[in-house]
Amino acid sequence: MKDQTTKALAMKLQSQRFEDWKHSNTDPLKVFAFLKLDKHDILTNPGLTSWFNYLDDFNARKPSQGMTRMEALSNGLNDRGLAKVLEAGMQGRGKTKAIATKLEKQLFAEWETKQYAPDRIFQAVGLKNFYGGATEPILSDPALKFWVRYMNEFNTKHPDKRTTIFETLRKNYGDEALVGMLVGAKTVVNTRAAAKSLEPQLLRKWLREEL
């Protein structure tokens, strides 16, 4: 009974707090920070739904200052943080995976509308020139797995502009860094298969270019 009373009181206080924010037109990103949603467990945080509702209401009242849900999440977490959160959610189960799938679909749709190419997103999620300061092979980076899904979707919709993981890695890192990356990745169980797939592509490219 005590737990129920405490929970009811907490919900009442939170409801009042949202009303106060509404009346003062508090920036949704400030509310985001106050609720401490900028954490990796955001998809399981019950405050996320309340914040989305607040954001929608704010957008209706202040359309000139409005942001879509995905724009707001990108601002709150940054693109790399959002990519890692969604990738973690996609590896989860049940409700968490369902939420991640829904949000990722919305995000990809917005990027598609803005005509963002995979190379732009590669940089946005912190993969461009990341290898030099990385503490792990880039092939094991959760943001890369997230990016690959966007690349695949982009390629399906734009076959004339399609790209590949190999082409993007080589373009952004160069051959020397790519070789080091593949050597390191082959020592890690989770990335060994990917490295073995990319290595012959590099060798074939060298042969064609007569290097």
Same domain, 48 and 126: no
Q: Which of 147, 104, 96 is nearest to 123 (CA)?
A: 147
190-200 pLDDT, tens digit per residue, is 888 998 999 88
In the chain, the percentage of residues whose pLDDT exceeds 70 is: 88
Same domain, 153 and 207: yes
pLDDT surpassing 90 at residue 62: yes
Same domain, 73 and 121: no
Same domain, 72 and 131: no
- Structural domain contains residue 94: no
- Structural domain contains residue 104: no
Same domain, 210 and 127: yes
- Structural domain contains residue 106: no
Q: How confident is the model at residue 75 (pLDDT cuts 50, 70, 90)?
A: very high
94-151 pLDDT, tens digit per residue, is 999 999 999 999 999 999 999 999 999 999 999 976 545 443 458 889 999 999 999 9
Tokens of 12: 């009442």
Same domain, 127 and 176: yes
- Structural domain contains residue 109: no
For 46-54, the CB contacts below 8 A with 24+ separation are 47/14, 50/14, 50/18, 54/18, 54/21, 54/22, 54/28
Same domain, 205 and 131: yes
Q: Which of 45, 77, 109 is the last residue of a domain?
A: 77
185 lies in which domain range? 117-211
Please give the residue that has the higher pLDDT: either 14 or 25.
Answer: 25
- Structural domain contains residue 92: no
Residue-by-residue DSSP string for 135-163: SS-GGG-HHHHHHHHHHHHHHHH-GGG--
145-185 pLDDT, tens digit per residue, is 999 999 999 999 999 999 999 999 988 888 888 888 888 88
- Structural domain contains residue 101: no
What's the structural domain count of the chain? Answer: 2
